[in-house]
Amino acid sequence: MPRHDGHPDDMHAHRLPVDAVLDHQGTSLESGLSATEVRARRRRHGPNRLPESRGPSVWRILVNQVESLVVILLFSAAVAAAAFGSTIEALAILAALVVNTAVGFAMEWRATRAMEALERMGTAQVHVRRDGKTHRIGADQLVPGDIVLLEAGDMIMADMRLVESNRLQCNESALTGESVAVDKITEPLSEENPPIADRLNMAYSGTAVTQGSGSGVVVATGLATELGEIARLVSESGQSITPLERRLDRLGQRLIWLTLVVAVLVAGAGMLAGTDLRLMVETAIAMAIAAVPEGLPVVATLALAQGMLRMASRNALVKRLSAVETLGSANVIFTDKTGTLTQNHMSLHRVVLERGTVEVEDSTFQLDQTALDPAETSDLLAFLETAALCNNASVESHGAVGDPTEIGLLEAATQAGLTRSTLLESWPETREVSFDPATNMMATYHAANDGFRVAVKGAPESVIEACDRVMTADGERALDESDRAEWRRRSEALAGDGLRTLMLAQKTVDDESGNPYEGLTLLGVAGLHDPPRPGIRETISACQEAGIRLVMVTGDHDATARAIAREIGIAGTDAPATDPAVLDRLDALSPAEREALLDQGVFARISPRQKLELIQLYQEAGWIVGMIGDGVNDAPGLKKADIGIAMGQRGTEVAREAADMVLKDDAFATIVDAVRHGRTIFQNIRRFIVYLLSGNLGEILAISAAAMVAAPLPMLPLQILYINFVSDVMPALALGLNRSETGIMDRPPRDPTEPILMRRHWSAIGGYAVIIAATALAAFAVALLVLQLDTGMAVTISFLTFGFARLWHVFNMRSSRSAMIVNEVTRNGFIWAAIAVGVLLLLVATYFAPLAGILGVTPPGGREWLLILGFSLLPLLVVQSLKRAGLWWERPADVEPASDQLRSRGIS
């Protein structure tokens, strides 16, 4: 048992040899901890997690409801009512404040909890060795003494002392601020307490593996880690709000101030005209109440959160609210090729030998339609042996593990009867020179009777320069420059057919310490095929129809990338290949050269730094850039892009941390679905804002018109409060949950700089408000002047007409593009539920005597009900007729189809 497991401060893990650290932690490199010991340590140390970043507390949510300008306005109205002796009105306003606060609290609490649920959906995974077997577990299950296996792309989830390192490098900028990756070692350090940046044999929670592989023994978890210590010192930052929420807040405040100015002017004009002061104060109070856009920010937040949950159910996990807005305006998406557009399952398709091209299908090898037996074909046999030996993949009972390219080579060798385990019995591996981007090659050394057999594979343009001989059907011969040119041509021909190319070579040496990349014998070129994902062509077509460009950005060969791009329909593949070095000197390019780059559909041989330059090029040209990535080297681009999209299954932890959205199923089609939801969410927010403001403005217009002509108020302040409660929050919330309308993906992406409400929306709001106010006033006038009803009954008729008109008004929120009867609004079950509750509450206000007495409502008779229903339906009938005739303001006269916008740029 360990003496002090999990406490690096008293054991100074960086100073101890590996064996001493393992002994101190009571574990072993070969077997790790036992299940029993894991349970005991978990009870002792708790889960490996930092305190969760929770949303606002219950108290903070409550305070949020009462510190807004809306509440101040209503409270002032209550004080004014009490000062003029209207005690019941003052109490009612205060009651409305309580109700609004309660509703806002409930909605914000639900939205906050929904966001927290989203944040808990993704859990980091790690590979550990326990009971002598490798397991994949949640990072929160790590305990001190666990043996963790590390490889490039992993996030390090606990502090650990490294016990194995194979070219291991870590990015520790999260702790040290040093952006350069650090080479890791396993030897003990002599300094007693060096800075974290100098502890080269330690790996710390919150950092990332950028290269190589290795393993480490966990010495601290949770708050005991260096990251946990920082978490203790840093206070939790306040919750940020999105640009949309800020615009909503400004919109509500401006509306309130505008209404206050109008209320003062109307009240002043009335008093100058000799109108009773009490009536004018009552009018000002009524207008102030009418101006309040109840629940606007809360409904918007809840609509976003519900939309995010809906997107999560479709395998798109959005990590922040503002990303929803960006989704609706993205018009170009950078995507890798392998695994994103293709299946990421490589299979050997062709082998180019000196004697000719061998076609590979299943377990057959054919040269000029003649079947070859690898065991009896020396050059093919040497090629397949090298493919299996220079390989880190493995084929296990539950499937193949490793790089897809290496798996493809290994599977081909296995189909020829050459298993790697059997080959290693004859040629045991003694040394590996890992793949290095600087050389684009890797090598393995294997003990042989006469020395060491060196197996090499890599990019054809690199391997061919290291070869001076070539294997033929009968032996070997020298390789001259004309031969090299021919091999380059044959490799390019494979790439031009959409195949990934790797050249294989070998040699025999006496000493394994030399340079593996010289004096090689060329064996041949492998052409591996990674077929496109099923349905990817249709998905790309859907993106283009929605006005979204797809640009392939890959490190693969240009010819290979273009062949796949043409096969799946990515536009812009006919332009000449771009030299990636151009991206290093963007400032020197002319406008025409920049425009030519923007029209490219494929960028090949691109480095992470050049990918950043490319993203910036598009952003400076006004494009809204999305980027799909899965590797460590994609993380900078995912951060730089307007919206970073990471793969949830095969993506590295680094990529997922950097991204704004994670695709849980790794399916490209999920992005299209997410864009659809993003557009729908913004459209719904815009729709219920129009609904809320048009109703509130209608109340203001009706009250102002009556006050200007010294007529009785058509609605009392308490009635306005009640209507806003019945007609604002519930129907608006239901509108926020609308499904996607027909054709939403046939339109161009939204300009991110455009305001929530454009000129046509304000025109529509004004039109709706005038019609609603006019019909309510008309019903009021008919009741007073035609039917000669008393003022109390006329006010009741006006109140109910307005209340029902606002309920029916929700059906005016359908798009002009959709059908009149069956559309995105009428298909929304929440709309019908909101209307049913609204009708019920209006009937309660009419026939429940205590409430009717407080509101000043007199139950109407049959004639009055006909008047109420007839006039309340008029706004719906008028607006629907105008929309049917194409005379409404909701949409511009012409909207260029999204696909036509791309074609206008020459991209088709």
Which residues are marked as active site?
A: 336
Using DSSP, how many helices (H) and how many strands (E) does the chain show? 32, 27
Distance CA 55, CA 69 (A): 23
Specify which residues 478 forms β-bridges with. Answer: 469
- Separation of alpha carbons 351 and 503, rounded Å: 10
Q: What is the distance between the alpha carbons of residues 853 and 841, in angstroms, rounded to a whole number?
A: 15
Residues ≥6 apart with Cβ < 8 Å to 576:
none
**DSSP, residue by residue, 313-329:** HTTEEE-STHHHHHHHH
The single-letter DSSP state of residue 857 is -
- Label residues 19-36 b or e (16+ Cβ within 10 Å = b): eebbebbebbeeebbeee
Q: In what order do the strands lie in the sheet with 625-629?
A: 316-318, 661-663, 643-647, 625-629, 332-335, 549-553, 602-603
C-alpha–C-alpha distance, residues 374 and 383, integer Å: 9
Q: What is the CA radius of gyration of the chain?
A: 35
371 beta partners: 366
- Beta strand 125-130 with 364-367 is unpaired
For residues 733 and 682, the answer to whether their CB atoms sit within 8 Å is no
Name the DSSP class of 578.
P
CB-based contacts of 107, cutoff 8 Å, min separation 6: 295, 298, 299, 301, 302, 733
The contacts found for 513-518 with CB under 8 angstroms, 24 or more apart, are 516/433, 516/443, 516/445, 516/454, 516/456, 517/439, 517/441, 517/443, 517/456, 517/466, 518/466
Q: Yes or no: say if 845 and 855 are a contact pair by the CB < 8 Å rule.
A: yes
- Coil, strand or helix at 659: coil
Are the C-beta atoms of residues 538 and 388 closer than 8 Å to each other?
no
How far apart are the C-alpha atoms of 521 and 513, rounded to whole Å?
A: 19
Measured distance between the N- and C-terminal CA atoms of the chain, rounded to whole angstroms: 68
